[in-house]
């Protein structure tokens, strides 16, 4: 399926019904919930680690995966977390047009920052070109708390890929990610500021204590900003994002959303 974001960028999206025979939790209206998965930078809807996460979430309901702009078969160029919020809004609105009344967003790394901003910007009742695009629960895994962070070697390498012409060539041909050449203007809402605006929508923050990109001050800052709306899981031995998310963790995330999301 090809969706159009509000700025007319084509977004590759895949819908998968709940796994047959799985323990699916229907909401009060008898509707099956859907998880919308937002991948990390250089990922896509068809990358193996995203497919693995989708398979885990399908045991609890339907799943929508999609490729952010500049990734996979989607059009446009990556803005590394800025206009990607429009891609996520298109995917969530599609889930609601398909009849799902309970929609959860789960984002990894860059996708984690996007689900935070999306939940802050798209509230229930907010007009959108595609229809209602709000989420009923948010899970941000390995997300940054602030922009322009360069405190780790991994993030210094990422900034080189994003900001330098040679780095963007490496991104395009080596990482299969097409990156926009323009700086942010204006700078998007800071992830911690977004977290502060999400409540009363339930928010789960998940972060590994061996994350090579963002140390533990990032999830703690997000949790402090969100206050009582957030629950924080610090996972011993976990690295970064989709690649580091164990099957058991993905299952726990799905069960958390089933307990905390309202019944549509």
Q: How far apart are CA 215 and CA 77, in angstroms?
A: 28
Q: Is residue 219's pLDDT more than 80?
A: yes
Q: How far apart are CA 55 and CA 145, in angstroms?
A: 28
pLDDT number for residue 24: 56
Closest to 243 measured CA to CA, from 29, 41, 26: 41
Residues comprising the chain, all counted: 264
Judged on CB neighbours under 10 Å (0-12, 13-18, 19+), 160 is middle
Other CB atoms within a 10 A radius of the CB of residue 16 amount to 16
Closest to 158 measured CA to CA, from 140, 142, 139, 137: 142
Q: Is residue 167's pLDDT more than 70?
A: yes
Average model confidence (pLDDT) for the chain? Answer: 93
For residue 108, the SS3 value is: strand
Each residue's pLDDT tens digit, 24-72: 554 443 468 999 999 999 999 999 999 999 999 999 999 999 999 999 9
What lies within 8 Å, CB to CB, of 97 at 6+ separation is: 130, 131
Closest to 89 measured CA to CA, from 4, 22, 162, 170: 4
Query: Which pTM value belongs to this model?
Result: 0.94
Each residue's pLDDT tens digit, 78-131: 999 999 999 999 999 999 999 999 999 999 999 999 999 999 999 877 766 667
Closest to 13 measured CA to CA, from 35, 52, 44: 44
Other CB atoms within a 10 A radius of the CB of residue 150 amount to 12
Q: How far apart are CA 59 and CA 163, in angstroms?
A: 40
Average pLDDT of the segment spanning 238-258: 96
């Amino acid at each position: 399926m090809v969706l159009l974001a509000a700025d007319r960028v084509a977004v590759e999206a895949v819908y998968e019904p709940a796994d047959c025979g799985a323990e699916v939790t229907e909401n009060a209206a008898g509707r099956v919930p859907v998880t919308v998965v937002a991948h990390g930078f250089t990922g896509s809807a068809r990358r193996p680690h995203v497919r693995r996460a989708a398979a885990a979430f399908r045991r609890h309901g339907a799943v929508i995966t999609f490729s952010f702009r500049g990734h996979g078969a989607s059009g446009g160029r990556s803005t590394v977390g800025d206009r990607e919020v429009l891609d996520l809004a298109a995917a969530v609105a599609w889930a609601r047009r398909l009849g799902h009344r309970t929609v959860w967003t789960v984002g990894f790394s860059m996708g984690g920052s996007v689900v935070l901003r999306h939940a802050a910007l798209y509230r229930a009742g907010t007009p959108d070109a595609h229809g209602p695009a709000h989420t009923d629960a948010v899970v941000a895994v390995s997300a940054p708390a602030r922009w322009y962070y360069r405190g780790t070697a991994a993030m210094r390498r990422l900034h080189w890929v994003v900001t330098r012409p040679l780095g963007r060539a490496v991104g395009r041909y080596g990482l299969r990610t097409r990156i926009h050449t323009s700086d942010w203007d204006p700078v998007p809402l800071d992830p911690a500021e977004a977290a502060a605006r999400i409540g009363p929508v339930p928010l789960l923050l998940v972060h590994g204590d061996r994350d090579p990109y963002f140390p533990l001050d990032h999830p703690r800052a997000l949790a402090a900003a969100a206050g009582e709306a957030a629950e924080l899981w610090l996972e011993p031995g976990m690295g970064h994002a989709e690649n580091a998310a164990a099957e058991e963790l993905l299952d726990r995330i799905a069960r958390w959303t089933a307990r905390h999301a309202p019944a549509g």
